[in-house]
Amino acid sequence: MSEDTENTAGEDQISEDDWAAAMAEQVVADSGAAAAQPANIFPSFGSDNGSNGILNELDMILDIPVQITVELGRTKITIKNLLQLAHGSVVELDAMAGEPMDVLVNGTLIAQGEVVVVNDKFGIRLTDIITPSERMRKINR
């Protein structure tokens, strides 16, 4: 056996011994873990502080901006047809007139509604809110 092979075998043995020692230290640490208390660095979101506690927790996220998209419909066209589009061209979508429009928040469907005009601006009147269980059902399809 060459000297390099002996060193490699010796290093492997040391590594296994170090691993065994680390495991033994972990067992000792785990047995004393019941007495250790976690540091209270972050507020507990799971504790029941009444309705005021929940409102204070929600206040932390109310200023986070989200992207809302209303999807009228979709279509696929060839590049040739895309290049032929001009001012006044009409692109046919897959949605039918009167069908509810999808309302997406950060790309996730959360509601459906109908288009309305308010003060010369388009808007959407929500007609159906998608529940979390319905969202999960659609994801699993």
Q: Please write the tens of the pLDDT for every residue from 81-136.
A: 999 999 999 998 888 888 888 898 988 889 999 888 888 888 889 999 988 888 77
pLDDT of residue 45: 57
Give the model's pLDDT for residue 39: 58
How confident is the model at residue 8, as a pLDDT? 47
Give residue 141's pLDDT band: very low, low, confident or very high (50, 70, 90). low
Same domain (yes/no): 135, 71? yes
Instruction: State whether 118 and 81 are in the same domain.
Output: yes
Residues 60 and 75 in one domain: no
Instruction: For residue 98, give the CATH number of its domain.
Output: 2.30.330.10
What total number of domains does the chain contain?
2
Pairing of strands 121-129, 101-105: unpaired
**Can you give the residue range of the structural domain that contains 104?**
66-140
* Dist CA 57 CA 40 (whole Å): 16
Q: Which residues share a beta bridge with 105?
A: 68, 108
**For range 35-58, the mean pLDDT:** 61
List the alpha helices (DSSP H) in the chain. Answer: 3-31, 50-59, 79-83, 132-140
Q: Are residues 85 and 59 in the same domain?
A: no
* Mean pLDDT computed over 64-68: 90
pTM over 0.75: no
Residue pair 67/106 in contact by the 8 Å Cβ criterion: yes
Do 21 and 71 lie in one domain? The reply is no
pLDDT digits (tens, 9 = 90+) for 21-30: 766 776 666 5
